[in-house]
A = this chain, B = another copy of it.
Amino acid sequence: MTKRKGLSARQQHILRYMDQYMGEHGYPPTIREIGAATHINSTSVVNYNLNKLVQAGYLERRDRVSRGMRLVKWGRAADNLLRVPLAGRIVASAPVEAYADGSGDMLDVAPATLGNNPPGEVFALRVQGDSMIDAMIADGDIVLLRRADTAQNGELVAVWLADEEATTLKRFYHEGQRVRLQPENPTMDPIYVDAAQCRVQGVVVAVIRHSH
């Protein structure tokens, strides 16, 4: 890739210091702090080497902004962590709770877990009870749902069945006026409900089970 070769001892020192300082404080050091730590007696020299590092691709800087720099390839990389609201519980006997924005717990998930779903539309619910075992989902599991009031054929959705007053997780198939809800468990038969009686609450993005 890029030649680490051309970096002077001072420049490497600066990189190490920035990484350390960043982890310690959560924000980058100033030019003068870098100078003090690396035994450079002039702010202009620090600035000089900083620009060298930018040129070499190790750093990004913003002009005239205090502490306006960031490590690009060196540092503990990006911020690749998303958070989704852990809104409440999902039980068979009640519809999915409306999730109050901001208030409540947040759950860390890896971006890959969300796939292509827009992070802002995804929320998490903890399953309460064993009513979803036919969908291979156990008590205490966490279900990640994308907010939706409609679904594509074949998607695994959380639906509220008005006439049965129950929430279930089933695969969704639109069949004319009716809707076929297919359990994940292939040994179980599908159920058919009137489309009007069936309110889609969300599309299942992932299921997470923690053993601790």
Are B76 and A76 in contact, CB atoms less than 8 angstroms apart?
no
Are A208 and B211 in contact, CB atoms less than 8 angstroms apart?
no
Interface size class of A (residues with CB under 8 A): 35 or more
Report the separation of the CA atoms of residues A109 and B103 in the bound assembly, to the nearest whole angstrom.
Answer: 24
Question: Given the known A-B contacts A110-B81, A206-B211, A207-B209, are A105 and B27 also in contact in the complex, defined by CB atoms under 8 Å?
Answer: no
Are A107 and B112 in contact, CB atoms less than 8 angstroms apart?
yes
Q: Which of the candidate stretches A36-44, A49-57, A130-138, A189-197 sits at the interface with the other chain?
A: A130-138
Contacts of A77 in B (CB 8 A): 26, 79
Contacts of A116 in B (CB 8 A): 212
User: How many copies of this chain are found per oligomer?
Assistant: 2
Are B136 and A70 in contact, CB atoms less than 8 angstroms apart?
no
Q: What are the interface flags for A92-105 relative to B under an 8 Å C-beta threshold, 1 for contact and 0 otherwise?
A: 00000000001111
Question: Given the known A-B contacts A105-B2, A206-B208, are A27 and B68 also in contact in the complex, defined by CB atoms under 8 Å?
Answer: yes
Contacts of A115 in B (CB 8 A): 210, 212
Across the interface, name the chain B residue whose C-beta is closest to A208: B208
Contacts of A69 in B (CB 8 A): 26-27
Q: What are the interface flags for A151-164 relative to B under an 8 Å C-beta threshold, 1 for contact and 0 otherwise?
A: 00001100000000
Contacts of A3 in B (CB 8 A): 104-105
Question: Given the known A-B contacts A27-B69, A136-B137, are A210 and B62 also in contact in the complex, defined by CB atoms under 8 Å?
Answer: no
Are B60 and A26 in contact, CB atoms less than 8 angstroms apart?
yes
Contacts of A207 in B (CB 8 A): 207-209, 211
Are A76 and B81 in contact, CB atoms less than 8 angstroms apart?
yes
Which of A5, A12, A208 is most buried by chain B, counting CB atoms within 10 A of its CB?
A208
- A205 in complex: contacting residue of B1, B83, B137, B212, CB < 8 Å: B212
Report the separation of the CA atoms of residues A116 and B210 in the bound assembly, to the nearest whole angstrom.
Answer: 12
A-B contact pairs, 10 of them (CB 8 A): A27-B27, A76-B83, A109-B110, A113-B208, A113-B210, A115-B210, A206-B208, A206-B209, A206-B211, A207-B211
